[in-house]
Structure 1
Amino acid sequence: QADILKTYLDLSFKAVAENTPDLVVWPETAMPFYFQDPSDLTTNMRLGVARMQVPVLAGAPAYSIPMEPGAPPYVLHNRAYLLGANGEPLASYDKEHLVPFGEYVPLGKWLPFITKLVPGQFEFKPGLSTEPLKTGPLAMGLLICYEAIFPELAQKQVELGANVLVNISNDAWFGRSSAPWQHLHLSVLRAVEQNRAIIRATNSGVSVFIGPDGGLRGPTELFTTRIAHDPAIPLLTETTFYHEHFLLIHMAFPVLTIALLWALWRKGPKIHT
């Protein structure tokens, strides 16, 4: 944990010294500890950010204590913290769309035996607050990990006022495969659909700046250590036809598909006896 934190802090010190950015973005779970708890790691993180004097967005595990009768003693969250230039937390976002059989078990409440068959952490709960995180002119719509593949989540963030989208991800479990690139290109669709730039930070996948037109700027290679910097990320407020007619478009596609299949069936060859 300490070595991972030191690696990210050292890279951030270098990035700030070379580029004077307005924001530093770390990947999902880049802080591999409970930042909400007092510890040497939490103190070092706060002091490191205060030394940079630049806000930092970073992923970390988190937990909360449910108050409902019969609830478990704690539940976990996949969280993104926005830390101010003084190292103190300004806001946070908890992942809304969890990974089935990785962060939760579908129907696990009624079929608890499934949790014994599949390895993983299953106490995760989705976040309740999905407001964009704000610092300076940035209103950041967060998409943690595979949330970027769901158009409705990007739609919601823009609806709530996001002028830029941020996708932080831990792609290590994909290994050296085509999956990190597929994950990236699905994120590109979100940028074009919503007319929003995307800041994408991953620990082992492709970190990149995606323009509102879908163009990729400064992509990194898989499993490489590198600082990615973009001096001019557009912060847009205009919405697209897709955004304005989101529900209609998503309702029309299945209807058109059914109509097309029906038409093909009607025109298909018939067997006469």
Structure 2
Amino acid sequence: MIKMNVAVNQSEIEVASVRGKSALITCKNIQPLKILHPVSHHNCCHLVLTSYGGGMVSADVVNINVKCGADTKTFIGSQSNTRIYKKVLNAITGQNIKGEVAENALTVVFPDPVVLQAESRFKQSQHWEVRRGGLLFLADWFQAGRTDSGEKYLFDMYLSEISIAIDGQLQVLDRFNFDPKENIADSPANFGQYQSMLSIYFAGTPDNPKFKKIEEKLLEIKLATQPVLNYDVSAQSCIISTTRAREGAYILRAMGKSRIDLQWLCDNIMDMLSDPELLEYNPMKRKF
């Protein structure tokens, strides 16, 4: 078992409904994390996770506790790609998020990809608790390396664990462990020709009208991207799979030959989430 030192202190984010608007009432930054809070003119708290060096160096560990209160809308993104730099003395870089989504709250977490540079070692965990009526839309995205420079699957280790519970009942437990030295990354059984991997987790209470709105969009994407007879995977710039893991949980997987090949999907999803009943606007448009 790989052990990772965990800092005693942790960064804190708390969002509450104040006079009918989602407001950041607690914000505690512990290096190397820096939390930015752009002003939003809508009922949505916009947060950006960034760092002082544009990434995480060897042995950096980020611990974040997120609380999204009742009736809030929260968007959490990142400033840019999170670069994981090469290891020093075999140390592991890590990020751990513990989150709560309260009653009738909507939380969208959609960062840019984690870019695993050569000889890096990265371990992450995310554990979310969603209360009845709450909705969580969580994106987890990683890149094979600095692919524009020809660096592909040269990292040493990538471990990930994501769990989502609804009212105390575990709905999603997704564990992933990949070591390019022990596995052939470009094998068809692994990633093949694809270098950008995006997973989206959507969880909540099915009888919530907002849940149904997002569910319909995910099913629409599924129908639009279903393979046809004589489907040639090698000819596709991206492939997408959407599955209902539980009654109140969906998982979408997408792999692209590059990040650009998945951008249309991200744009499509963010346009959907900008619905007046959801986030009310598209936070990504302020970024690009």
Q: TM-score, normalised by structure 2?
A: 0.29
Which one has the bigger helix percentage? 1
- Structure whose CA Rg is larger: 1
